[in-house]
Structure 1
Amino acid sequence: MTQTTIRRLPHLLLALMLAMPLAPAQAQAPLAYQQPSPAVRELLDAPALPRWSISPDRQTLATIERRRFATIEELARPTLHLAGLRFETGCACALPAAPILKLRLRNLLNPDAPERNVELPAAPGSLFHDFSWSPDGQHFLLQRRLDQASELWIGDSATGRMRPAAFVKLDTVLLQTEPAWLNAREVIVTTVPDRRGTPPTAPRGPIGPAVQESLGKVSPERTFADLLKSPHDEALFEYHARSTLTVVDVNTGLAHDLGAPALFTSVSVVGDGSGGPNSQFLLTERLARPFSYALPWDEFPRIVELRSRDGKLVREIARVPLRQNMAVDAVITGPRAVQGSPFGDAALYWVEALDGGNPARPIAYRDRVMKLDPPYTSEAQEVQRMPHRFSKLLFLDDGQNALLTEIDRSRAWTRTYLLPLAGTQSRPLFDHSLREKYRFPGTPLMRNLPGNGRSVVISGHGELLLAGPGATPRGERPFLDRFSLKDLSVTRVFQSAENQYELPLLPLEGGRLITQRESPTEPPNLVLRDGTGSSLLTRAKDPTPQLRKIRRELVSFKRGDGVDMSFWLWLPPDLKDGERRPALIWAYPVEFADDATAGQVSGSPNRFNVFVGLSPLNLLMDGFIVLSDATMPIVGDPKTVNDSFIEQVTANARAIIEKADDLGMVDTRRLAVGGHSYGAFMTANLLAHTDLFKAGIARSGAYNRTLTPFGFQAERRNLWEARDVYLRLSPFLYAPQIKEPLLLIHGEQDNNSGTWPVQSERMFQALAGTGGTTRYISLPYEGHGYTARESVGHVQWEMSQWLRTYLGDPRVPLPRPAD
């Protein structure tokens, strides 16, 4: 085939496929949920490892055991899909991601102290979730989801006894963050308004057509799901999302409301109240009309307001318009990212664009930080200008400084400054690529203020504590550094041993440090380190001892053009020496601006083996070899990196296969490739443009890029600016070239931007209509990821059966041909 023909192929196929009717899906007999092999089912049903939470006063340790999966019955409960949100109408909440099964408390530093079992009262449909501490650690909060209410429960740390807050029905449709604390006794939550009446009823028929219009202004929008479609949708959304700010006293359990209900999306506390009630305020954001039928709720107009502690309006800070007629990577021109100081000064800070919000406009300074001091009657003053786009502002616990971070999107680069809050010039502290692993300086450790619970950066003695994964070519070795704000010197305080994986968590007085330590044979546990050695604070048990027989190895190599690559080689427990078996390569493409960061290794051979939820690694128990986290670097200028996507994923696949063959354990004649989301997109493209694999598994992917015309993943150009790229990267248009069997799996309610279920539906129809071998699994009630026990088990069964069908029995070797 000539180069000219290759360039024309997407256009010819597009014309062909648009002209022909898609083949109807081949009807299948109804299929009940299938169970994976007993070995895989046992892994899926094993209890999850416990999670730990340390109280802010560092006196109490909470051990939290969570449920791994939801049930189909839970997913099938009545929900509304409005304005990009999904929530249950009965409880005014989303389905909890990981309900709490058991909760225990004990003294932090005494592992032999008796544990206090917290009784979680059962009720029909009840699920406890969202554990959090009060600022002083004397109380804790839990939420309980019921069929017709969402409750706030208050626990006593000393006794473990709990009680519900009286007459409080939470509404977390819009505001799902941790509660805001006025002080250690009073917490602010959002609740269902009193006497709100009944939900608006649907009209008997449409009152007229739904109309949208664009009047000559550029308004590129990503593809979103669950958007509003009618005035009735708007009324329903407003009815269920409107909430009241409510103050709850954790000592008495009593509550009182603050002001009128509104569509509150955020509430935070400004100031610590050290100067009396008039020195502490509330910063709130609420949605305002007009709503949009093309954008989700977080792009609606909003009003940012400063309120007194009793909810009365002090000053309107900003009116943020509907985000429309803007480039995908543009920002609004007015105040954004408004936040309040957590200290006694109670100042407000926000960011304003200096480039009109347009990232393509050449300008010396792109953003500026503004400050407004009490009593908030004057004009805000400029504090700092930044050459690149604002990313975040973190306050230091010294009350005098903050960490200001910006991002240079053209270089995929980030820089952090030390910003004196008094208004003097900032100083750069560190900068690096957004994809940097080896030179990553670490993330500053934070603590909660005992007064209002606000999170601030630890900065004792003029030093930051920076914790990082410590990535190296041989795997990660987590570290803790002291970073001097005076001379920028770095002192290593701690680094994990080479044969373990130990993560620094919390510094204590006297140079002591709490870490979380694990090894290939020891589950994660908390450890207390001092100057003389270490001692275990917890003794978690191994929930899956059968996994200790599995072997894994970090394998590093180079692509043909010299780019460093790697994968994790996982070997089934019954693999014999000298035996070759079929393998699944599981990968996800990632874009890099340069070769140096593209080949950097993440992960560690010293982690404790535990398979979280739905994982391709479960296939090890069915006898297959798995090459997981296989690097798929796409290297190039961020603006045009996708121009060579096909060539680079092909080169990546070839390099992986060649290295796997050299290892002597993988039967490269029986290889499958798979991935989730963008990994599914990669899988379909590899099958369309190469003959390297015998089969593919694609979960929740997007295959027709004309359905995501205003960008996808790292692609910044729209379809009309890079037409050939969009068409060439659409495996849907190359369906006749996909000769290998392709298993398509998708949640029928996938609401992830760009990966609507129609992507898999049309891909299946294209393959079926052009003679391909394919199977399409649509999972009821599931979204972009799969959460129900039934769904996860069935997907594991489908994947195993697909590999067994097209790669053969992994435990039955194929004869090797003579040399």
Structure 2
Amino acid sequence: MKLRASIIFVLVVLLGFFGFEVTAQNTYQTPPKSIADLVNAPSTPSVRFSKNGDWMILMERSDNPSIEVLSEPELRIAGMRINPATSGPSRQIGVENIKIKKTQTGEEIQISGLPAQPNMGDFRFSHDEKYMVFTQTESDGISLWIVDLSSNSAKKLTDKIINDVYGNSVLWTPGNKLLVKAVNPTRGAIPIRPAAPAGPIIQETTGDAAPSRTYQDLLENPYDETLFAYFMDSQLMEVDLDGTKKPVGSAGMIKSIDLSPDGNYIMVELIKKPFSYLVPASRFPYDVEIWTKAGAKVKALAQIPLDENRPTGFDATVTGPRSISWRADKPAVLYWVEAQDGGDARNDMEEREIVYTLAAPFAGTKQKLATSAYRFAGIDWSDDSFAIMSERWSRSRKDMRSVINPSKPSQPKQVIIERSSDDLYNDPGDPVMVENEFGENVLLRKGDLVYMTSPGGSSEGDMPYLSTFNTKTKEEDILWRSKAPFYERVSKVLNDDASEFITIKESTDIQPNYWLVNTKKRIAPQQLTNFDNPSESIKGIQKQLVTYKRKDGLTLSAVIYTPEGFEAGKDAPLPVLMWAYPREYKSKEVASQVRGSQYSFTRVSSGSPLFWVTRGYAIMDRTEMPIVGEGDKEPNDYFIDQLVANAEAAIDEIVNLGIGDRDRIAVGGHSYGAFMTANLLSHTNLFAAGIARSGAYNRTLTPFGFQYEQRTYWEAPEVYFNMSPFSFAHKVETPILLIHGQADNNSGTFPIQSERYYNALKGHGATARLVFLPNESHGYSAKESINHMLWEMDTWLEKYVKNKNEIERTK
């Protein structure tokens, strides 16, 4: 007993020496009823429409899983999280029921024959829409099921053979067969961890720069490598509608599969060694091969090397072929892009990127299709005479789109859109896509006119619209636009002239629902769904979009919610919860633009601050926190000064409106919003309390860049130091609540960020509380975790914000 007591004493001393606090494991708590009722409300079904919109699939999702589900065995390797029992992703929340709904009659038909304990996903329609398949995940594997849409009945098609650990796993062929990525039948039992290591773990560099961001869940040892190879081991199978299956090609570590539009060829990406301990599986070396539909290798198209040595910066990329895809408008033509600048954005070149094509049977040489002065960002295809190519440049926020003539590669491209990607007011939107004869998405167009849907940014907020865009004159013709007091946007266009389409329509207190609109026929829009309002208890709350000025004249905006019946100027000012997420801009004009809509439905998600309007708080949500650096100036050189100015302006606005009590305002945010919160508490005493969830607080732990910061720590050490709340922990005088998922999988927000920051705060006598949520990732999903998070936040706000004055009177 004396020996055991001595050991315990030594452990306590050591823990105290290293700064750890020994605390008891607490039980999960639940928030007040007004909050619990909202978070436990049933979710709204998701919807997928048929090609012509005459019917839809309603998919009802299950509620958040329990902490027991989240605590099931999980492999965290190569940037992936795998359920070893299923050969699929862990933490998956599936669909628990599917129905068919006729759009004209409103009739709902329950799909019969569904799994007894449904956990469905990856729904895919056959090209002729006679069938739909889905995966069913059970405790020991993933099977494939099929729905006959003529009888609306489902049946099991395969045993638990699907390998869904990485990439896509199920494709329809034009002949109504299925190509699936199955677990290699010969892979055997899961490798057993060695009782002892065979030797040390060694990494070596020979002088080539290999800057890398801070990825999570990487390979750490040879056993991890063995596990990765084991779970990636796959065999392609062709499956008939009766469940008959046969192997296609050789087994391997299949990364992805893609059928040519005519179904005669398969593009297969195969991961190979050497693996990396620095980057995730997406950057491991791989081969790109073209197979016949029977599995015979036609061509080794590319050998992509390990991507560890990419230059720094968001505009950097790999050398060699990338973005290899099939042309949507051709039976079997490949296209891809190759950087000409060595992947280094610092190298100035007129032809920075070249796009190549290669047609079946892939025996010829690649053909030059187009060039790009920026980074290639994709092609929307139409036909042999028309396609739209996109280019982007992150540093300057450049977004450029051009018309190219695929049949005449030497013909200069015609720039039709050139704007800042941040510029909402001048965003014509994205092209409307329709299915062609191959079942592929191509542009909906008439000659030079391309149909577009835009978010419709304006000084009044987003007012989405449908338009034609003339690619010759660059003029828009708006065919339809959302009108106040609704927020409505086009979901699916149904005919060639875009006169009939389906929209999603909502208002502040009306749940989003689908409507059928016809702009030619003189008939009123027809409501297709009538989903219940999951937030009925807050239907009467008040919402307003406000704009106001920062001290330098920059226009800011926020959405303010107040409890039902509250009257500013008549009722006493309320305690406030301000919620925000900073964003960087290269233009003051663009940073001043109003974002969001005052007419959108008041949606309450588990991470939302809106719960506290039921507790008598005013909520200042989507509070704009722009950080601007124009021209050659970098936004983060002014991060602290502008962040403080944003907060001062927001506080002044809600106080001057007679809504908020200046002495009872809390600030909070998630991820980069948590980082913002800690910085505000480090450099101001503006707030009564702060709430920071899943943040990063020491930027030296993300030395090769973070968020939109492209410079490394060694290029701008003063920026990294000054932007780190950890550097100024000794200045924090405001109570701060830190919450973090203990299994955070987001780049840069390691749980140690909160642990070390809390230790620093504690060491300097700050009022702080650190809550780790077991088995939770960057976003929290278990019912118990979400309820406990809300309880923590509510308790903190009640103590340090709402009842702040009472606490101070008792001191």
TM bin, normalised by shorter chain, reads: over 0.9
Displacement of 1:554 after TM fit?
A: 0.4
Separation of aligned partners in 1, 2:16 and 2:633: 36
Larger relative contact order (Cα-Cα within 8 Å, sequence gap ≥ 6): 1
Q: Which amino acid aligns with 1:743?
A: L
* Correspondence for 2:286: 302
Matched, 1:150 2:142: yes
Preserved contact between residue 592 and residue 598 of structure 1 (Cα < 8 Å): yes
Distance in 1 separating the partners of 2:108 and 2:731: 65
Say if 1:501 and 1:813 are closer, same or farther in 2 by CA, change over 3 A.
Answer: farther
What RMSD over aligned residues (CA atoms) do the two structures have, in Å? Answer: 2.1
Kindly indicate whether residue 774 of structure 2 is the aligned counterpart of residue 780 of structure 1. yes
Tell me the equivalent position of 1:163.
155
Which residue among 243, 246, 257 is the counterpart of 1:256?
A: 246
C-alpha distance in structure 1 between counterparts of 2:312 and 2:165, whole Å: 26
- TM-aligned CA deviation for residue 464 of structure 1: 1.9
Question: Residue 811 of structure 1: CA displacement?
Answer: 12
Which residue is equivalent to 1:5? none
The separation in 2 between residues aligned to 1:188 and 1:447, in whole angstroms, is 24
Q: 2:60 and 2:724 mapped to 1: Cα distance?
A: 43
Aligned to 2:389: 404
Give the aligned partner of residue 16 of structure 1.
none
What letter is aligned with 1:291? F
Distance in 2 (CA, whole Å) between partners of 1:809 and 1:672 is 12
Q: What is the CA-CA distance between 1:119 and the residue it aligns to?
A: 4.6
Alpha carbons of structure 1 residues 800 and 537: separation in structure 2 relative to 1, 3 Å: same
TM-fit CA distance, 1:24: 2.4
Residue 351 (structure 1) aligns with: 337
Secondary structure at the residue paired with 2:510? coil
Deviations 1:664-700 (A, max 9, x none): 0100111111110011111111111111111110000
Match of 2:510 among 522, 542, 560: 522
Q: Secondary structure at the match of 2:762?
A: helix
* Aligned partner (choices 202, 206, 215) of residue 197 of structure 2: 206
- Once residues 804 and 48 of structure 2 are traced to their aligned partners in structure 1, the CA distance between those partners, rounded to angstroms, is 43
Provide Cα deviations, 1:297-351, integer angstroms capped at 9, x if missing partner: 0110011111111121111111111112221332222111111123444111110
Contact 2:99 2:108 in 1 (8 A): no
Distance in 2 of aligned mates of 1:28 and 1:686: 29
For residue 208 of structure 2, what is the aligned residue in structure 1? 217
Matched, 1:484 2:479: no
Structure 2 Cα separation of the partners of residues 425 and 222 of structure 1:
38
Gaps of 5+ in 1: 1-19, 274-279
Deviates more, 1:705-714 or 1:469-478: 469-478
Q: Cα distance, 1:401 vs. partner?
A: 2.8
**Superposed displacement of residue 384, structure 1:** 1.0
* Cα separation, 2, equivalents of 1:188 and 1:471: 42
Q: CA deviation at 1:167?
A: 3.3
Q: Tell me the residue number matched to 2:312.
A: 328
Alpha-carbon distance in 2 for matches of 1:610, 1:335: 43
Structure 2 equivalent of residue 548 of structure 1: 539
2:592 corresponding residue in structure 1: 599
User: How far is 1:439 from its partner?
Assistant: 0.8
**Secondary structure class of the residue paired with 1:263:** strand
State the secondary structure of the residue aligned to 1:766: helix
In structure 2, what is the Cα distance between the partners aligned to 1:96 and 1:64? 19
The letter of the residue matching 1:521 is D
Residues in 2 aligned to 1:333 and 1:381: alpha-carbon distance in whole angstroms: 18
**Match status 1:270 vs 2:265:** no
Q: What is the alpha-carbon distance in structure 2 between the residues aligned to residue 487 and residue 475 of structure 1?
A: 27
Please say if 1:624 is aligned against 2:617: yes
Structure 1 residues 814 and 135, CA, compared in 2 at 3 Å: closer, same or farther?
Answer: farther
Question: Shift in Å at residue 639 of structure 1?
Answer: 6.2
1:36-55 Cα offsets, whole Å, 9 max, x none, are 11111111111112221102
Alignment pair present for 1:315 and 2:299? yes
Aligned mates of 1:688, 1:489 — CA distance in 2: 49
The aligned counterpart of 1:13 is: none
Matched AA of 2:601: F
1:465 to 442, 445, 451: 451
Letter of the aligned partner of 1:664 in structure 2?
G
- Deviation (angstroms), 1:191: 0.9
Report deviation, 1:131.
Answer: 2.4
Instruction: Give the drift of 1:79.
Output: 1.0
Query: Which residue identity lines up with residue 393 of structure 2 in the other structure?
Result: D
Q: Is the 8 A contact 1:96 1:129 kept in 2?
A: no
User: Cα gap change, 1:48/1:465 in structure 2, threshold over 3 Å: closer, same or farther?
Assistant: same
* 2: CA distance, partners of 1:811 / 1:253: 70
CA contact (8 A) 1:512 1:529 kept: yes
Superposed CA deviations along residues 11-45 of structure 1, whole A, max 9, x for unmatched, are: xxxxxxxxx99862333332111001111111111
The aligned residue for residue 195 of structure 1 is: 186
Indicate the larger mover: 508-517 or 233-242: 508-517
Instruction: Tell me how far 1:617 sits from its aligned partner.
Output: 1.0
Contact 2:329 2:440 in 1 (8 A): no
Alignment match of 2:398 (pick from 413, 420, 432): 413
Q: Does structure 2 conserve the Cα–Cα contact (< 8 Å) formed by 1:269 and 1:342? A: no
Paired residue type of 2:131: H
Partners of 2:769 and 2:789 in 1: CA distance: 12
Q: Is the 8 A contact 1:60 1:157 kept in 2?
A: no
Q: Distance in 2 between matches of 1:775 and 1:92?
A: 38
Give the match for residue 55 of structure 1: 50
Q: Aligned pair count?
A: 783
Task: Decide which of 98, 101, 112 is 1:103's aligned counterpart.
Answer: 98
User: Retained in 1: the 8 A contact 2:258–2:266?
Assistant: yes
Contact between 1:56 and 1:133, CA under 8 Å: does it hold in 2? no
Within 5 Å, which residues of 2 pair with 1:66-145? 66-95=61-90, 97-111=92-106, 113-123=107-117, 126-145=118-137
User: In the TM superposition, what is the alpha-carbon distance from 1:652 to its structure 2 partner?
Assistant: 0.4
* More divergent stretch after superposition (717-726 vs 612-621): 612-621
Corresponding letter in the other structure for 1:312: A
The answer on whether the counterparts of 1:103 and 1:118 sit within 8 Å (CA) in structure 2 is no
Q: After superposition, where does 1:287-686 map in structure 2 within 5 Å?
A: 287-329=271-313, 330-396=316-382, 398=383, 400-422=385-407, 423=409, 424-449=411-436, 451=438, 453-509=439-495, 511-530=499-518, 531-532=521-522, 533-573=524-564, 575=566, 577-637=570-630, 640-686=634-680
Spell out, residue by residue over 1:545-566, the C-alpha distance to the aligned partner (whole angstroms, 9 max, x if none): 1111111110101111111101
CA shift for structure 1 position 508: 2.2
The one-letter code sitting in structure 2 at the alignment partner of 1:268 is D
How big is each residue's C-alpha offset from its partner over 1:262-288, in whole Å with a ceiling of 9 and x where there is no partner? 122221112325xxxxxx211121211
Quote the Cα distance in structure 2 between the aligned partners of 1:752 and 1:428.
Answer: 37
Does 2:237 match 1:246?
Answer: yes
1:627-667 per-position Cα deviation (integer Å, ceiling 9, x unaligned)? 11100000014762211100010110111111111110100
Q: For 1:100 and 1:522, locate their aligned partners in 2 and report how far apart those are by CA, in whole Å.
A: 25
1:258 is matched by which residue type in structure 2? V
Distance 1:741 1:586, change over 3 A: same
Aligned amino acid, residue 338 of structure 2 = E
Q: Sequence identity of aligned pairs in percent?
A: 34
Is it true that 1:285 corresponds to 2:275 in the alignment? no
Residue correspondence of structure 1 range 685-696 to structure 2 within 5 A: 685-696=679-690
Aligned partner letter, 2:609: P
Is 1:707 the equivalent of 2:706? no
- Confirm or deny: 8 A CA contact 1:22 1:765 kept in the other structure: no
